[in-house]
Copies of this chain bind each other. A is one copy, B any other.
Amino acid sequence: MSELRIKQRITTMDELLNTLRQFAAERDWDQFHSPKNLSMALAVEASELLEIFQWMQESESLAPNAVTRERIAEELADVFVYCLLMSNKLDIDLLQAAQSKMQKNAEKYPADKVKGSNKKYTEY
C-alpha cells in the first residue's frame, strides 16, 4: 500500500477512516469485520495496552521512557482503529455518541457530589 506512505499527514477522523476502509478493501478483510468480531479485536487491543502497565506502579506509568511510550502509542492506535471500524460498520457517529454519553455522565455524576471521589455512581 505504497499510497499510504506518500500520503499527506492524516488530520481528521474521516481521512483516517477512509484509509482504514481502503486498507481492508485491498485485503478483502471486510468479510471478517462483523461487529461481534470487531468487539473481540477491540478488546484484544485494549488488553495489549493493559499488558504494558500490568506490573508497573502508577507513578511509573505517568512517565514512561521513550520505548515504552512508543509501544503505548501503537497499542492505543490499534484500539482507536477498531473503534473507528466498529463505528463505520454500524453507522455510529463517534463524536456525537461521545457527546451524548458525556451529557448522561454529567447527570449521573454531579460535580458537587462526586468531587475528588473514586466511588462508583451507584454508591451516591
Contact = CB atoms under 8 A, between A and B. Distances in A.
The residue in A42, A48, A98 that gathers the most chain B C-beta atoms within 10 A of its C-beta is: A98
Chain A residues touching B, majority SS: helix
Interface residues of A, number: 83
Contacts of A32: 55, 118
Interface string A83-117: 10011011010111111111111100101001110
A76 B97 contact: yes
B116 A102 contact: no
Given A13-B95, A101-B81, A118-B32, A111 B52 contact: no
6 contacts: A4-B99, A10-B98, A36-B57, A40-B50, A46-B79, A55-B118
